[in-house]
């Protein structure tokens, strides 16, 4: 819905919305100096609002695909409330990590890549031995195979590490957002497993 409304805005209105709702590391890096009022004001609000704003349909479609593949199992395992918490907290904290990592950046960060990466990390932490169904290209044919989740997600994570170190500087924010979200997701999964063991 947010993306659909965004497309009906003029280019100027779109840019204004990104400037207002996006997380700007240059304005967010001094987190320890923020007052409680600031956290519940614009600076804190952007950490949430930015997760639901995408400038491109392809970016949104990719995030939704990952969210569907990995998020459904996480929600079935731990419930909708935990799933929403992982998404929102993971995404917001991933943006904070980027703000600390690239404190001089003045470009707004938008999108839910960090939040979705947190869901992926949570999935791996909860289901490390699971398998994911994929269509693999074999010449002119597509062969369906069930591949270990550790291999699929591990390959994805390795690519993020490589890109963050050697990729184009224009993508630095995206790579760090993915890495931060993923690691936070793993922590959420470990916490959930520890709580489950404590209860039973």
Question: What pLDDT shows up at residue 74?
Answer: 94
Count the residues in the chain.
200
Q: What is the domain partition of the chain in residue ranges?
A: 2-199
Q: Residues 91, 112: contact at Cβ < 8 Å?
A: yes
pLDDT tens track for 25-80: 766 655 555 555 555 555 667 788 888 888 777 878 888 888 998 999 999 998 99
Q: Which two tokens stand for residue 143?
A: 């062969």
Question: What pLDDT shows up at residue 183?
Answer: 94
pLDDT over 90 at 177, yes or no: no
- CA-CA-CA-CA dihedral for 92, 61, 76, 50, to nearest 10: 20
Distance CA 129, CA 163 (A): 26
Nearest 5°: the CA angle 8, 9, 15 is 140
Question: What pLDDT shows up at residue 90?
Answer: 93
* Other Cβ atoms closer than 10 A to 22: 19
Q: Which of 118, 102, 107, 109 is nearest to 52 (CA)?
A: 109
Residue 3, C-beta contacts closer than 8 angstroms, at least 6 positions apart: 53, 54, 57, 60
Q: Which of 103, 10, 93, 7 is nearest to 50 (CA)?
A: 93
Reduced to 3 states (helix: H, G, I; strand: E, B; else coil), residue 116 is helix
Protein fold of 2-199: Rhomboid-like fold (1.20.1540)
* Other Cβ atoms closer than 10 A to 99: 23
Region 151-168 average pLDDT: 81
Q: Which of 174, 192, 41, 166 is nearest to 116 (CA)?
A: 174
pLDDT tens track for 101-121: 777 777 788 888 899 999 999
């Amino acid at each position: 819905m947010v993306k659909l409304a965004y497309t009906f805005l003029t280019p100027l209105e779109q840019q204004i919305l990104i400037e207002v709702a996006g997380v700007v590391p240059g304005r967010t890096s001094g987190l320890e100096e923020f007052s409680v009022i600031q956290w519940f004001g614009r600076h804190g609000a952007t950490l949430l609002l930015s997760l639901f704003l995408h400038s491109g349909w392809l970016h949104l479609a990719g995030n939704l695909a990952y969210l569907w593949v990995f998020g459904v199992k996480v929600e079935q395992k731990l419930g909708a409330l935990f799933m929403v918490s992982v998404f929102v907290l993971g995404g917001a904290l991933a943006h904070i990590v980027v703000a600390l990592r690239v404190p001089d950046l003045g470009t707004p960060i938008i999108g839910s890549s960090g939040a979705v990466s947190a869901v992926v990390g949570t999935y791996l932490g909860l289901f490390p031995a699971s398998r994911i169904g994929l269509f693999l290209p074999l010449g002119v044919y597509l062969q369906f195979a069930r591949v270990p989740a550790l291999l699929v997600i591990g390959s994805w994570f390795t690519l993020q590490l490589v890109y963050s170190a050697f990729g184009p500087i224009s993508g630095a924010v995206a790579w760090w957002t993915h890495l931060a979200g993923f690691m936070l997701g793993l922590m959420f999964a470990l916490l959930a497993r520890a709580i489950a063991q404590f209860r039973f």
